C-alpha cells in the first residue's frame, strides 16, 4: 500500500463516516445560562422611558419586555420576573398565581404645590330619602393660602360639594354631605379641583361605590315601664323615613300600649335590627335572657337607656361598673347634654366609647357575641334635646342607623362596592336568627344592567348562617345581587361598575407594595433601579437551560464531505485510476 493509497482510503473513510453520522443524526445536550428576561409593567400615566432605560443599563444582557395592563390585571405570568413602574394612578388586580418576585418602582410626584385625595370613606349603604356623608382625607403640600373645592359627583351631576381654605400643609378630614339621585348601586367620584401649576392632578379624584336603597331599618322600642329617655329617642326615629319603629310600653302588671309588632319575643327580635330598651331595671329575667340571645346569637344591637344605676336581672346586660352622678346643671355627655349621668368606671379594650362626661365614659358600645350592646349613661339628655339645633335627634338617628346596618337579619356585603367591568365581585351573605338552623336554602341571582339574571353559587363559610360567593361583573352597568333564604326573607345588594374607576393613589401604592413584599420583591423609588437589579440577580444567575444540539444537521458538513471526496477523486485521477 502506497502512501497515496493510504491517503485516498483515509479520505474516503472520513467521508463515509460523515455520511454515516449524518444518517444517525446524533443528539447532544448542552447546559447554558437562561436568557435574562425581565417584564416591565407600566402602571403610570406619565412617561416611564427613563426608568426603562435605567433598567436596561443595570441589567445588561437582560431581555426586557415592556407591557401595559390589560383588563385591569397585572400582566405578569407565573415565573416571570416583573418590575412594576407605578405612580399610583393605575390600579390593577394582582394575579393569584404570581410565583416570581414582583419588584415595584415608585415614581414620585414632582415637587411643588399639590393637593391629593388620600382616602374617601362612605357608608356602603344609603337610604334613598336621606342625605349621606362622605368623609374625605385630603393632603396638601405648599397649599397655604389656597382654596380647594371638593365635588361629589354621580355621573355628571354634582350631588355634594365643600371647600377648604388651607392654612398650613398637612392632611385634613372633611365630611361632605351628599344626596342620592336614584336607587341601586351608585358610583360617586370625589374630586378636588386642580389648580394652575399643581404638581400632579392624578391624585385629585377617588371613586367610591354606595348601595342606595329604600329599605327601612327595623327598630323595636320596649319600655318595661314608661320612660322619657326612650320615648324621645323613639320620637326622633319615628319622624325619620329611614326607620320602621315598633314599640311597646308596659303601663301596669297586665297593661301595655304600643304597636302590634312591638312585643318582646323571638319573632319580633328576629325581625328587628336594633332593640331599644327604656328603664331596663324593670325587665324580667326572661326578658333579659331573650335580649341576651338577641345580641349574642342573633347578632343584633341592643340600646339600653337606663333611668338609674343598673339593677335587677338587667344588670348583667351592662358590661363593667356603672355609677350614677347628679349635677345641678347640664354638662356635655358626648355630643349630648345631661345633668344625670351613669359613668363607666373603666372601659375594656373592646369597648368603643361614644361619649364621655367629666373624663369618664357615659356612652359605650360593647361587642358581645355576634352583636353589640350600647349603653347611654346620659340619662336625662332628653330634657336638653332642644339645645344645639337638633343634635339629640341627629345623634340617635345616626347611631341607630349605623348600628342597624350591621345588625340587619339578612345582609349582603361586598368586598368592594365598586369595580371594573369583566371582574368578579366577592360577597358575603349573613343571615343570623334567634334560633339557628342546621339546614338553609340560599338562592342568589345576579343581574348586571340589561343582561339576563344568572344564578350564583354560594358556599357555607363555616359559621352558621354565613355564606360566600363571587358575582361575575358583565358590561359597564351596575350589578345587583338578590338573595332569599328558604323562600322567605330576602335582601338586595350590588356593586357599582365603572370602566375608569379611580382609586386613591395611596391605596394603589399600598396594594402594590403589599403584593411586592408578599412575593419577595423589592420596593424602591425611581432612580434606585440598581436595587432592583441586585434583587433580580440571584434568580437570573441560578437559572440555566438544557439545550439539545444535533450537530450533523448543520449544512456546513457538506463542505468537508465534498472536499474529502473531491480530493480523493483528484488523487485517483492523477494516478490515472478510474
Q: Identify each DSSP E strand in 432-571 by its residue range.
A: 442-448, 454-456, 458-460, 466-472, 479-485, 490-497, 523-525, 544-549
CB of 160 or CB of 421, closer to another protein: 160
Query: What binding mask, one character per residue, do residues 181-220 give for another protein by CB under 8 A, x or -?
Result: xx--------------------------------------
CB of 123 or CB of 517, closer to another protein: 123
CB of 81 or CB of 126, closer to another protein: 126
State which of residues 178, 294, 322, 427 lies at the interface with another protein (CB under 8 A): 178
Whole-angstrom distance, CA of residue 286 vs CA of residue 264: 10
In sequence order, what DSSP letters do the residues of 306-361 get, joined into one string? Answer: -SSS--GGGGGGS-S-EEEEEEEEEEEETTEEEEEEEEES---TT-EEEEEETTEE
Q: Assess 500 for contact with another protein (CB under 8 A).
A: no
Query: What binding mask, one character per residue, do residues 501-540 give for another protein by CB under 8 A, x or -?
Result: ----------------------------------------
Reduced to 3 states (helix: H, G, I; strand: E, B; else coil), residue 13 is helix
Neighbours of 389 (CB within 10 A): 8
Q: Assess 385 for contact with another protein (CB under 8 A).
A: yes
Query: What binding mask, one character per residue, do residues 391-420 give for another protein by CB under 8 A, x or -?
Result: ---xx-xxx-xxx--x--------------
State which of residues 26, 35, 112, 177 lies at the interface with another protein (CB under 8 A): 177
State which of residues 75, 280, 299, 478 lies at the interface with another protein (CB under 8 A): 299
Residue 373, strand partner residues:
302, 366
Label residues 350-369 b or e (16+ Cβ within 10 Å = b): ebeebbbbeebbbbbbbebb
State which of residues 123, 266, 464, 498 lies at the interface with another protein (CB under 8 A): 123
Residues 351-370 that bind another protein (CB under 8 A): 352, 354, 365-370
Q: Assess 260 for contact with another protein (CB under 8 A).
A: no
Q: Assess 130 for contact with another protein (CB under 8 A).
A: yes
Closest distance to another protein from the beta carbon of 135 (Å): 6
Length of the chain in terms of residues written: 578
Segment contacting another protein by CB under 8 A, of 238-246, 278-286, 445-453, 492-500: 238-246
Whole-angstrom distance, CA of residue 41 vs CA of residue 86: 8
State which of residues 7, 21, 77, 131 lies at the interface with another protein (CB under 8 A): 131
**What is the distance of C-alpha 520 from the center of its chain?**
22
State which of residues 179, 195, 557, 569 lies at the interface with another protein (CB under 8 A): 179
Closest distance to another protein from the beta carbon of 308 (Å): 17
Whether 137 and 171 have beta carbons less than 8 Å apart is answered as yes
Question: In which element (H, E) is residue 532 found?
Answer: helix 529-542
Q: Kindly give the pairing relationship between strand 418-419 and strand 490-497.
A: parallel
State which of residues 14, 133, 244, 470 lies at the interface with another protein (CB under 8 A): 133
Closest distance to another protein from the beta carbon of 541 (Å): 46
Radius of gyration of the chain (CA): 36
Segment contacting another protein by CB under 8 A, of 177-185, 201-209, 276-284, 536-544: 177-185
Q: Assess 320 for contact with another protein (CB under 8 A).
A: yes
Residues 322-341 that bind another protein (CB under 8 A): 328, 335
Q: Assess 298 for contact with another protein (CB under 8 A).
A: no
Residues 141-160 that bind another protein (CB under 8 A): 155-160
In degrees to the nearest 10, what's the CA dihedral of 538, 541, 545, 547? 180
Q: Assess 499 for contact with another protein (CB under 8 A).
A: no
Count of residues that interact with another protein, criterion CB under 8 A:
63
Q: Kindly give the pairing relationship between strand 371-376 and strand 418-419.
A: unpaired
State which of residues 245, 319, 512, 516 lies at the interface with another protein (CB under 8 A): 319
Give the C-alpha distances (Å, rounded to integers) separating 193 from 164, 337, 498: 11, 39, 21
Closest CA to 340 of 361, 355, 328, 326: 326
Listed in sequence order, the residues at least 6 apart from 417 whose beta carbon sits closer than 8 Å to its beta carbon are 124, 185, 208, 209, 210, 211, 495, 496
Whole-angstrom distance, CA of residue 92 vs CA of residue 511: 9
Residues that bind another protein (CB under 8 A): 121, 123, 129-133, 135, 155-161, 175, 177-179, 181-182, 228, 231, 235, 238-242, 296, 299, 319-321, 328, 335, 345-348, 350, 352, 354, 365-372, 383, 385-386, 394-395, 397-399, 401-403, 406
Amino acid at each position: 500500500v502506497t502512501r497515496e493509497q493510504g491517503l485516498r482510503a483515509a479520505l474516503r473513510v472520513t467521508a463515509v463516516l460523515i455520511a454515516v453520522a449524518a444518517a444517525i443524526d446524533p443528539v447532544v445536550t448542552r447546559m447554558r445560562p437562561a436568557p435574562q428576561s425581565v417584564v416591565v409593567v407600566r402602571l403610570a400615566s406619565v412617561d416611564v422611558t427613563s426608568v426603562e432605560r435605567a433598567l436596561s443599563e443595570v441589567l445588561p444582557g437582560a431581555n426586557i419586555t415592556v407591557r401595559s395592563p390589560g383588563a385591569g390585571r397585572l400582566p405578569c405570568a407565573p415565573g416571570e420576573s416583573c418590575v412594576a413602574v407605578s405612580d399610583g394612578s393605575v390600579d390593577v388586580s394582582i394575579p393569584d398565581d404570581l410565583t416570581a418576585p414582583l419588584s415595584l418602582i415608585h415614581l414620585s410626584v414632582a415637587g411643588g404645590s399639590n393637593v391629593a385625595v388620600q382616602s374617601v370613606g362612605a357608608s356602603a349603604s344609603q337610604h334613598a330619602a336621606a342625605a349621606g356623608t362622605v368623609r374625605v382625607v385630603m393632603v396638601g403640600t405648599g397649599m397655604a393660602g389656597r382654596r380647594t373645592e371638593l365635588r361629589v359627583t354621580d355621573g355628571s351631576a354634582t350631588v355634594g360639594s365643600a371647600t377648604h381654605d388651607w392654612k398650613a400643609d398637612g392632611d385634613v378630614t372633611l365630611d361632605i354631605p351628599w344626596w342620592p339621585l336614584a336607587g341601586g348601586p351608585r358610583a360617586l367620584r370625589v374630586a378636588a379641583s386642580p389648580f394652575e401649576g399643581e404638581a400632579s392632578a392624578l391624585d385629585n379624584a377617588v371613586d367610591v361605590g354606595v348601595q342606595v336603597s329604600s329599605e327601612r331599618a327595623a327598630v323595636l322600642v320596649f319600655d318595661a315601664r314608661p320612660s322619657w329617655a326612650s320615648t324621645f329617642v323613639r320620637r326622633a326615629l319615628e319622624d325619620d323615613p329611614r326607620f320602621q319603629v315598633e314599640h311597646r310600653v308596659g303601663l301596669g302588671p297586665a297593661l301595655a300600649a304600643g304597636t302590634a309588632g312591638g312585643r318582646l319575643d323571638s319573632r319580633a327580635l328576629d325581625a328587628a335590627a336594633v332593640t331599644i330598651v327604656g328603664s331596663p331595671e324593670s325587665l324580667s329575667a326572661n326578658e333579659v335572657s331573650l335580649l341576651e340571645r338577641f345580641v349574642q346569637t342573633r347578632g343584633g344591637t341592643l340600646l339600653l337607656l337606663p333611668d338609674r344605676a343598673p339593677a335587677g336581672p338587667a344588670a348583667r346586660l351592662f358590661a363593667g361598673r356603672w355609677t350614677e352622678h347628679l349635677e345641678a346643671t347640664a354638662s356635655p355627655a358626648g355630643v349630648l347634654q345631661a345633668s344625670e349621668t351613669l359613668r363607666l368606671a373603666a372601659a375594656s379594650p373592646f369597648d368603643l366609647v361614644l361619649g364621655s362626661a367629666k373624663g369618664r365614659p357615659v356612652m359605650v358600645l360593647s361587642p358581645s357575641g355576634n352583636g353589640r350592646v350600647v349603653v347611654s349613661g346620659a340619662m336625662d339628655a332628653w330634657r336638653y334635646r332642644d339645645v344645639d339645633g337638633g343634635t339629640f335627634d341627629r345623634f340617635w338617628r345616626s347611631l341607630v342607623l349605623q348600628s342597624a346596618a350591621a345588625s340587619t337579619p339578612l345582609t349582603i356585603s361586598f368586598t368592594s362596592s365598586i369595580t371594573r367591568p369583566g371582574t368578579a365581585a366577592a360577597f358575603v351573605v349573613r343571615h343570623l336568627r334567634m334560633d339557628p338552623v342546621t339546614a338553609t336554602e340560599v338562592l342568589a341571582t345576579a343581574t348586571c344592567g340589561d343582561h339576563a339574571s344568572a344564578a350564583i353559587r354560594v358556599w357555607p363559610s363555616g359559621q352558621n348562617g354565613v355564606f360566600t360567593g363571587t358575582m361575575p361583573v358583565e358590561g359597564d352597568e351596575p350589578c345587583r345581587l338578590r338573595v332569599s333564604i328558604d323562600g322567605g326573607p330576602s335582601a338586595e345588594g350590588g356593586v357599582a361598575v365603572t370602566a375608569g374607576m379611580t382609586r386613591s393613589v395611596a391605596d394603589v401604592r399600598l396594594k402594590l407594595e403589599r403584593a411586592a413584599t408578599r412575593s419577595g420583591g423589592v420596593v424602591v423609588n425611581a432612580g434606585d433601579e440598581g436595587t432592583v437589579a441586585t434583587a433580580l440577580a440571584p434568580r437570573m444567575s441560578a437559572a440555566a437551560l438544557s439545550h439539545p444540539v444535533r450537530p450533523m444537521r448543520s449544512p456546513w458538513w457538506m463542505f468537508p464531505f465534498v472536499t474529502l471526496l473531491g480530493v480523493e477523486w483528484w488523487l485517483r485521477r492523477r494516478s490515472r485510476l478510474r
